[in-house]
Amino acid sequence: MPGYIGSATSRVDGRAKVTGEAKYAGEFNVAGLVHGYVVESTIPKGRIARIDTSEALAVAGVIDVLTHRHRPPVADKDDAYKDEVAPEKGSPYRPLYDDSIHFSGQPLALVLAEDWETARVAASMVRVEYQKEPHITDLHVQRDKAFAIDAPAKSRGDAEKSFAAAAVRHVAEYFIPTEHHNPMELFASTAMWDDGKLTVYDKTQGVQNVQKYLCGVFDMQPEDVRVMSPYMGGGFGAGLRPQYQVVLAVLGARALKRPVRVMLTRAQMYALGHRPASIERLALGASSGGKLEAMTHEAIAVTSQLEEFARNDTGWGNLLYKSATAKFEHQLVKLDVPTSCDMRAPGAATGVYALECAMDELAIALKIDPVQLRLQCYSDRDQGEDIPYTSKQLRECYRQGAAAFGWDKRKVEPRSMRDGSEFVGWGMATGVWEALQMPATVRIVLTANGHAEVATAASDIGTGTYTIMAQVAADMLGLPIDNISVKLGDSTLPQCPLEGGSWIASSVCNAIANTARAVRGDLLKLAKGMKDSPLADASVDDVALIDGKIVSTRDTNRAVSIVSVMQSDNAERITREEANKVTEDKSHARNVHSAVFAEVKVDEDLGVIRVTRVVNAVAAGRILNLKTAHSQMMGGVVWGIGMALHEETLFDHRFGRVMNANIAEYHVPVNADVHDINIIFVEEPDEIVNPLGIKGLGEIGIVGVAAAIANAVHHATGKRVRDLPITLDKVVQFN
């Protein structure tokens, strides 16, 4: 299929984004808008003994101050607060519900004023008296209280016995700190209450998820609640679950019968979800020749007192490396913090970091090249389920990545490569993620002038969903891409899942294919009705839509223009709505893979680490758009640099509060931290995974990057740092 699919098409929403025409949730201005400002708890655990709003209420311009005692009614059952991605176990947090305090930064009051500055200053005048209770926010202090949950992967054989008997062993603990998403766009909601009907602009990765949630919390009917999120300035998982500001905005709008906006500050966003801190223990046992005999991966991760959030940290080794025995265990520790949540490649970013550092350490113990060890242990099957893959071009990722990087020139010994006053280190790691598809419905409206509108409720969180959908629709409808408009981010549009899990591209594009086929069928019916129709005998499968025409694939001379077909019947529009077909087939594993190679330079005296080169070779099925795909992978690598060297949410455990709740002291990579990044897409045709062979790219870019960098730092300095981030104080004493 020639055309737009696979090409480096520029973003169709690029102009709207850079000119500011694309509005975010906090930018919808309506007449009479009221501004809300959140008053947060300064303690992590206890009760509100007294809350005095009188001083705040006396400020000119303040309209009201909502608290748990003074607010419109909300639901009092857990079920009402359970959104699509709520953990199965536990009670979701209820904003402004009662006097109990579950985490520092919890909203205790909402000041509503005519402008934001007034609301903010008045918020500082709300007096709260607390009844404090003892709290714990330190995973290390509480690890003895960890409890096991169902492991996401099946154990095999007696891994402990095999480990004890193995010729070469490596065992170590790795640590990943709490990390926060920090999307550029602040979390915000603008809520409009109109005579029993609610319209909300919300920063969310799932408008229908928020719509359903608001119906539950406020006991409303679906037809009375509309949620929109047409554009987002980044999500990364923080926007998967409805966040508390949307409840507060709706409370305000219902209380005042006026439109209300609640926008959080950067600091307040540190009381939303986060990537949970985790301790990952790896025990690998191998024969002296480098065959794995035992693999144990145990994770201890943080959740809140309220809910049990957990992801698959430990199961990835089952997919990557052949091992005679394996043991997986996942434990949780409950702390007095907000419930942790998904952050790009949840589970894998952390678990694969530990696994891939451990493989590097095992390779060193075995005196085998790290790439060679991975090839020796390469698994062509998912060993947990004992099934093959729909496709797995990981060997090719290793080969092409190593070649592009120049891996064969690596000197084996740590501290053996130099560039002036800097040590040079080369490290590598594997990445792996899932290739999922979720049910999604797409509507296409083809109008007589040869334009088509393609619509579904998905949010484009910045990944390029508008663009790939326009590309796929243009090819399938045989129209120029300028004739396609894409509508997203509105709960009244056809059903679509959350934009997450790397599943949107495969889900919506396969749905487009099915809907386009239905449109083609309708066009063919009309074409057959034309006088002397050249397509009189054709069936839907032997025509295609190409260059604005409906064409017989058997004889391309037999063709009619789409516009003339529509005109022949005075058809103004053809409207079709179809879903993708999500397979129930469990006979194959569905995954994407990558091989990451990193070069670091470490200053001998100062310990300053620079990531000077990264090659990331990715096999992820059909690549729909080389440009947006490349950007996705670059972003993943940049975040991997941050994970390896910078990112860490720091608590003052005495107060249970985040100390660096800002992007000055919570470090993320800046331009000066980012050097040469080379993305390679390895060809991976896949006719099984889904009809279009799309696997998705949202998360794979980050997986393995931190491990490749950590391994490179070890190679440069001889110093093995297992707890992230690898800051210079941890490497500077490498003599």
Binding site for ligand MOS (CB under 6 A): 205, 235-237, 240, 342-344, 346, 500-501
Closest CA to 579 of 714, 424, 690: 690
Looking at the Cβ atoms of 497 and 621, the one nearer to ligand MOS is 497
Looking at the Cβ atoms of 277 and 377, the one nearer to ligand MOS is 277
Task: Give, for 706, the enclosing helix (H) or strand (E).
Answer: helix 705-717
Which among 356, 361, 647, 699 is annotated as catalytic? 699
The yes-or-no answer on residue 185 being catalytic is no
Task: Give, for 170, the enclosing helix (H) or strand (E).
Answer: strand 168-176
Under 8 Å CB-to-CB from 14, ≥6 apart: which residues? none
Cβ atoms of residues 295 and 328 within 8 Å: no
Task: Encode 179-206: b = buried (16+ Cβ within 10 Å), e = exposed.
Answer: bbbbbebbbbbbbbbeeeebbbbbbbbb
Closest CA to 191 of 20, 33, 67: 33
Cβ atoms of residues 352 and 394 within 8 Å: no
- In residues, how long is the chain? 735
Distance CA 326, CA 386 (A): 13
Distance in Å, CB of 179 to ligand MOS, minimum: 12
Distance in Å, CB of 346 to ligand MOS, minimum: 5
Q: Which two tokens stand for residue 111?
A: 């000041």
Looking at the Cβ atoms of 45 and 344, the one nearer to ligand MOS is 344
Distance in Å, CB of 504 to ligand MOS, minimum: 9
Looking at the Cβ atoms of 67 and 463, the one nearer to ligand MOS is 463
Residue 209, CA distances (Å) to 84, 490, 675 in order: 6, 11, 39
Looking at the Cβ atoms of 341 and 535, the one nearer to ligand MOS is 341
Scan for tokens 């699919």, then name that residue: 5
Looking at the Cβ atoms of 244 and 503, the one nearer to ligand MOS is 503
Distance of CA 455 to the CA centre of its chain: 22
The strands making up 188-194's β-sheet, listed across from edge to edge, are: 62-67, 107-113, 34-40, 260-263, 188-194, 197-202, 225-228
Distance CA 604, CA 418 (A): 10
Looking at the Cβ atoms of 346 and 693, the one nearer to ligand MOS is 346
Count of Cβ atoms closer than 10 Å to residue 499 Cβ:
31
Distance CA 427, CA 450 (A): 53
Distance CA 268, CA 265 (A): 5
Cβ atoms of residues 295 and 317 within 8 Å: yes
Cβ atoms of residues 274 and 104 within 8 Å: no
Closest CA to 278 of 315, 307, 306, 310: 310
Q: Which two tokens stand for residue 496?
A: 């679509």
Distance CA 721, CA 176 (A): 11
Distance CA 672, CA 567 (A): 58
Looking at the Cβ atoms of 321 and 433, the one nearer to ligand MOS is 433
Distance in Å, CB of 230 to ligand MOS, minimum: 17
Distance in Å, CB of 348 to ligand MOS, minimum: 10
Q: Which two tokens stand for residue 36?
A: 């809300």
Strands 543-546 and 549-552: antiparallel
Scan for tokens 């530990």, then name that residue: 354
Distance CA 458, CA 732 (A): 47
Cβ atoms of residues 218 and 75 within 8 Å: yes
Looking at the Cβ atoms of 358 and 618, the one nearer to ligand MOS is 618
Distance CA 594, CA 604 (A): 31
Looking at the Cβ atoms of 36 and 501, the one nearer to ligand MOS is 501
Looking at the Cβ atoms of 236 and 398, the one nearer to ligand MOS is 236
Looking at the Cβ atoms of 474 and 508, the one nearer to ligand MOS is 508
Distance CA 192, CA 180 (A): 30
Distance in Å, CB of 85 to ligand MOS, minimum: 9
Distance in Å, CB of 507 to ligand MOS, minimum: 13
Residue 496, CA distances (Å) to 163, 242, 460, 505, 508 in order: 46, 16, 12, 11, 8
Distance CA 511, CA 502 (A): 16
Point out the residues that are catalytic: 699
